[in-house]
Amino acid sequence: MQASAAGAGGGSVPLSERNVAFTHAIAFVAGFSVVFLVLGASVGFISSYVRDQVPTLTRVGGVLVILFGLQVAGLLKSPTLRGP
């Protein structure tokens, strides 16, 4: 006699298949956790070097926003910023 559990469709799924699915789900969640942990750590590491450049980056970002606004308004005709 094989242990099984009732599935959503009323059939039975062997316990070994459920264990495999559970193991895969745990591995999937662990993989995402590792990826986001590494991304968060690297952003924190990079931000420690960029912290001194915040005023410069703020000005550059402001200029880009103004240029994009002029492009959208049609006052700036840039082939680089033109859409498809």
The answer to the question of residue 82 being in a domain is no
Does residue 27 form part of some domain?
A: yes
Chain length of the chain: 84
* Residue 79 in domain: no
Tens of pLDDT along 61-83? 999 999 989 988 988 887 776 76
The total domain count for the chain is 1
**Residue 50 domain-assigned (yes or no):** yes
Domain of residue 28: give its range. 4-73
pLDDT of amino acid 79 = 78
pLDDT score, position 58:
95
> Is residue 84 domain-resident?
no
How far apart (Å, rounded) are the C-alpha atoms in residues 47 and 39?
A: 12
* Residue 29 reports pLDDT greater than 90: yes
Q: pLDDT averaged over the chain?
A: 85
